[in-house]
Structures are given as C-alpha cells and as structure tokens.
Chain A
C-alpha cells in the first residue's frame, strides 16, 4: 500500500510571496489533516477534512492560509502572502473512515523556508 505523498519536499521563497503544497492521501482514506511543525516543536493541526468538507479549521490563519480538497482525494494548502514565521515543515496525514484512533498515517512533509 502506497503511503501519503507530498510535494514538493522542499521550498524556499521570499516573504510576501505565495506558495502551495500538495498532498495525495492513502487511497480510500476519507480524513485528511494538514499540520504545521515549526522546528523544535510538535506538529500543530491546521485543518482537518472529512471527504471534501472541513471538520476543523480553528487553528488555520485564514487571513493568509487556505486549503481545499475539492474531490475528496488530493488536497492543496496555500499560503499567500508568506511571512518569516511560516518557515516550518508542513505535514499531511490521512485516516480511513471507521479506523481506530491510532490509524493516522503521515507523509514525509514539505519543508518551507521563508527568507
């Protein structure tokens, strides 16, 4: 079974530029998560999707961050415009419907550096 795929793996941009990350979850997984992991910290949930609907986006900075999962499969996370403090690893995770709590699988992440 293929794992969660993310691209790009690395991205370097200047502040005020825009950037987008892509996630392809494990086939058949209805739940998709985006996390932000700042260096030296644990992952922080940004948004959770169930199919193509948003379950929780309470910690998403909506003035600059947006995410979508139009067909309930792939997802994109966008930052516009980026700030220095957005430098972090952005992790995508997925979980199948009806799975137990521990069945959340993470992708390798996209490391963003904002200069």
Chain B
C-alpha cells in the first residue's frame, strides 16, 4: 500500500528502545487531545487520549504528556516493536465541538 508519510519528519529507533514523538498544538482553547497511529493504506487508529486537566496519562506501553504552558504534547512508546512502525498524529479538540484538528504527523521507523 502507499505511504501516508513520504514527506513527514522521521524518527528511527532500535527495536526495544523507547520512542518519544512530539507535537505542538495551536489552539489554547483545546481541552482534549488524542494520539492516532496510521499504518500504510489504513485510516488513523486511536492510541491514547488526555484531557487538559491532566498532564500525564498512561496506557499499555504508551504514555502521553501534556504541557499546556507551551502547548506541547508528547507520546512515549516503551520497548518499541516492529509493529509500532507507522505515522503518528496528534489531534486537538475544542470543548463541545467534536471537531478534531490534526497535526502534521511523525513517521516512526523501528530498526531490527
């Protein structure tokens, strides 16, 4: 299938290492944030979310950090696996709109 991330920033990590993917968001009124994973030829898939009243949330092997002061999100993936290779997008949502604004994305390559 085609790649959705030919011109995206790329992060290459060794299998088993931790990955950190960063995202800057634009709207200070946004109060809900999601990280999506998009594999080639597929639509985005939900990974983890966080509300603006939190600064950290953990899932299975993933952690999202939110810094509202500088409008910055990060996604940390522990013990990165080959199946984590994909393009990762952050998306922001302003309260009550159910309208999601996506960032530009980062391509994660996991090296064996």
A interface list, Cβ under 8 A from B: 4, 31, 37, 39-45, 48, 56, 89, 91, 93, 95, 101-104, 106-109, 111
Contacts and interface: CB of A to CB of B under 8 A. Distances in A.
Nearest to A99: B98
Contacts of A31: 98
Contact of A56 (B2, B4, B93, B99): B99
A43 B5 CA distance: 12
Contacts of B32: 101
Contacts, number: 60
B46 A102 contact: yes
A37 B38 CA distance: 12
Interface of B: 2, 4-8, 32, 34, 41-46, 49, 89, 91, 93, 97-105
Contact of A101 (B5, B41, B49): B49
Contacts of A40: 4-8, 104-105
Nearest to A37: B4
B34 A101 contact: yes
29 contacts: A37-B4, A39-B4, A39-B6, A40-B4, A40-B5, A40-B104, A41-B104, A41-B105, A42-B89, A42-B91, A42-B102, A44-B102, A45-B99, A45-B101, A48-B99, A56-B97, A89-B4, A91-B44, A101-B32, A101-B49, A102-B34, A102-B46, A104-B100, A106-B42, A106-B44, A106-B45, A108-B41, A108-B43, A109-B42
A101 B93 contact: yes
A111 B42 contact: no
